[in-house]
Chains A and B, each alone.
Chain A
Amino acid sequence: MLKLSRPPRLVFGIVSVVFFLAAWEVIAWSGLLGSSVPAMFTTLSHTFEFLGQANSWAVIGETVAMALSGLLLAIVAGVALGILIGLSATVRHGSKVIVEFLKPVPPIVILPVVVLVLGPTMGMGVFLVFIGCVIPILVQTAAGVVDTDPVALDSARSFGIGKLETTLKVVLPSAMAFIGSSIRITAPIALVVAVVAGLFGGGPGLGRLLMRAASSGQQTEVFSIVLVAGMLGLLFQSISVVAERRVLHWHPSQRVEETR
């Protein structure tokens, strides 16, 4: 059973993809969903063509750039604010209601005002990504800081280690697992928000391209862009998972996951 499960899995994976593509082709040919579903082969070849153009890579690059720079800003600000919130009870309680309110509100809600102020620009996309990622990172970081072993803190204090040094050498490493998992969770969100910024805010990148293709009825292009966005999403997910493992390989939380 155990021995068998390895190779067939790959086979099953290939079979499932083939099956899916075949089903797609059948739907497209039969016109089951109207003429709006483009033929599978056409779409795939269009996708390859799309990926072969330098221009497309510039567009993909714009989306990735918005996602990554927004994420990076969110990490810097989120970790700094999270440490502040975690260390100071006053700040923690003062910000509690605001954070609790903003946490479940997705960035698409404030998209209209951000677009109004910043216009359909790259900066708008970056800001939206930033807003979408900063709250989860901040919340997780603060939780990690609060979770710091009080014994480690006490012993640092009793050795006369300064506040800044304690923060950097004791608090930050112990909160690292929380920060790492928050980044793993927010990286795919960053990509989604970058696409949303183009789709509904007119910002540069795949989102805008998708919107244009959709409103001009170019179905093959629409499907191709969605496929590309999916591959990009897979890439973001797997890189963030691997990166978290790499960075946190020493941490007990990683070991638990591996034994599972």
Chain B
Amino acid sequence: MRVLLATDTTSNKRQRGIPRRALHICLEIGVPIVLLAAWFISSQRSSNPFFPPLAEILNRFHELWLFDHLHSDVVPSMSNLVLGFAIAVLLGVIGGVLLALMRPIAWLADPLIHFWRAVPPVALVPIFVATLGYGNETRLVSIVVAAVFPTLIATVDGLRSVDSGLRDVGRAYNLTFSERLLVVNLPAASPMIMAGVQISLQSAFVVMIASEMMGTSTGIGAMTLLAQQSYASADMWAGILLLGTIGYAANALFEMARARILSWYFKAQKQGAAS
């Protein structure tokens, strides 16, 4: 009786399920299109200085970014972001490994790390501007400093919470130091490290924009803020659109990479949830 009931409900679900899924997919794709269309149409005759017609925004987007300012502004911003993020992750992981290995240094560094992590990273930008000037190094250093802490802390935490069972295996079989680090501890800590790296990416992105808003005139952030300050609202919207897209794309790329690197982890979790 119970078995019969169970199969009943599943078949029921399946029967209704197919059109339902189609509906859901339609919703997922349809709603954003409808909203964009609504924006496009309703703003068509807009004379509100803050909300220019979407057509005009897209037109400015095209004129500005494809490809007039691509080389002068988009490329420098993006290369700062990528380079700063990469350096920060490298430093964060290496620093995290060192701190996890050397307890006394970790005790020394702990309070400082936690203080500097609590400082809003954008608040440091003025300090870097004052000490390093308005050059590109300032922007790069700001990004690195902001992005290094999440990865560093996640690496230390991740390495400290490696399962003692796995650690014992490494010790019992006399694995070399580098094997224990590279084949046992870092992979075991990698889910936690990657969570920190994701936050690092977000910080890097925020500080990329912030460092450009601080007294420079090149870069996407600078152009967007300048457009706002000179009431060129279509340009400003075009900048916002580009920044939003970059933020989204950077995160999406990261998540794709993470799904690859941690495929064992996600599959194992799914397996655990299923059984």
Q: Which residues of A contact B272 (CB under 8 A)?
A: none
Task: Judge whether B127 and A222 touch: CB under 8 Å.
Answer: yes
- Contact mask for chain B residues 125-149; partner A; CB cutoff 8 A; 1 contact, 0 none: 1110111000000000000000000
Chain B residue nearest to A14 in the complex (CB): B111
Complexed CA–CA distance, A181 and B137 (Å): 36
User: Counting CB contacts under 8 A, is B202 at the interface?
Assistant: yes
Q: Which residues of B contact A103 (CB under 8 A)?
A: 251
**B247 contacts which of A33, A105, A200, A236 (Cβ < 8 Å)?**
A105
Known: A20-B112, A36-B131. A226 touches B119 (CB 8 A): yes
Interface hit among B85-93, B94-102, B235-243: B235-243
**B108 contacts which of A12, A94, A206, A230 (Cβ < 8 Å)?**
A12
Task: Judge whether A104 and B202 touch: CB under 8 Å.
Answer: yes
CB distance from B223 to the nearest CB of A (A): 10
Task: Judge whether B228 and A112 touch: CB under 8 Å.
Answer: yes
Q: Which residues of B contact A15 (CB under 8 A)?
A: 108
Q: Which residues of A contact B122 (CB under 8 A)?
A: 108, 192, 195-196, 199
- Contact mask for chain B residues 94-121; partner A; CB cutoff 8 A; 1 contact, 0 none: 0000000000100111111011111111
Task: Judge whether A16 and B248 touch: CB under 8 Å.
Answer: no
Task: Judge whether A110 and B251 touch: CB under 8 Å.
Answer: no
Task: Judge whether B251 and A104 touch: CB under 8 Å.
Answer: yes
Task: Judge whether A93 and B111 touch: CB under 8 Å.
Answer: no
Task: Judge whether B109 and A16 touch: CB under 8 Å.
Answer: yes
Q: Which residues of A contact B29 (CB under 8 A)?
A: 97
Q: Which residues of A contact B116 (CB under 8 A)?
A: 230
**B28 contacts which of A97, A104, A117, A223 (Cβ < 8 Å)?**
A97
Task: Judge whether B129 and A214 touch: CB under 8 Å.
Answer: yes
24 A-B residue pairings within 8 Å (CB atoms): A12-B104, A12-B107, A13-B107, A16-B107, A19-B108, A34-B131, A89-B24, A94-B28, A105-B244, A105-B247, A109-B209, A112-B225, A115-B228, A191-B120, A196-B120, A196-B122, A199-B122, A199-B126, A200-B214, A225-B123, A226-B119, A230-B116, A234-B118, A237-B118
Task: Judge whether A106 and B227 touch: CB under 8 Å.
Answer: no
User: Counting CB contacts under 8 A, is A90 at the interface?
Assistant: yes
Q: Which residues of B contact A36 (CB under 8 A)?
A: 130-131
> Which of B35, B124, B130, B237 neighbours the largest number of chain A CB atoms within 10 Å of its CB?
B130
Q: How many residues of B contact A (CB 8 A)?
A: 62
Q: Which residues of A contact B243 (CB under 8 A)?
A: 105, 109
Q: Is the interface of A mostly helix, strand, loop or mixed?
A: helix
User: Counting CB contacts under 8 A, is B31 at the interface?
Assistant: yes
- Contact mask for chain B residues 154-197; partner A; CB cutoff 8 A; 1 contact, 0 none: 00000001000000000000000000000000000000000000
- Using a CB–CB cutoff of 8 Å, the interface residues on chain B facing chain A are 20, 23-25, 27-32, 35, 50, 104, 107-112, 114-127, 129-131, 161, 202, 205-206, 209-210, 213-215, 224-225, 227-228, 231, 233, 236-237, 239-240, 243-244, 247-248, 250-252
Q: Which of A105-149 contact B (CB under 8 A)?
A: 105-106, 108-113, 115-117
CB distance from A89 to the nearest CB of B (A): 7
Task: Judge whether A233 and B210 touch: CB under 8 Å.
Answer: no
Q: Which residues of A contact B30 (CB under 8 A)?
A: 94
Complexed CA–CA distance, A117 and B237 (Å): 12
User: Counting CB contacts under 8 A, is A188 at the interface?
Assistant: yes
CB distance from B99 to the nearest CB of A (A): 12
User: A93-B23, A225-B123 known; 12 other A-B pairs, CB under 8 Å?
Assistant: A16-B109, A16-B111, A104-B251, A116-B236, A188-B118, A195-B120, A196-B210, A210-B123, A214-B130, A222-B126, A226-B127, A236-B118
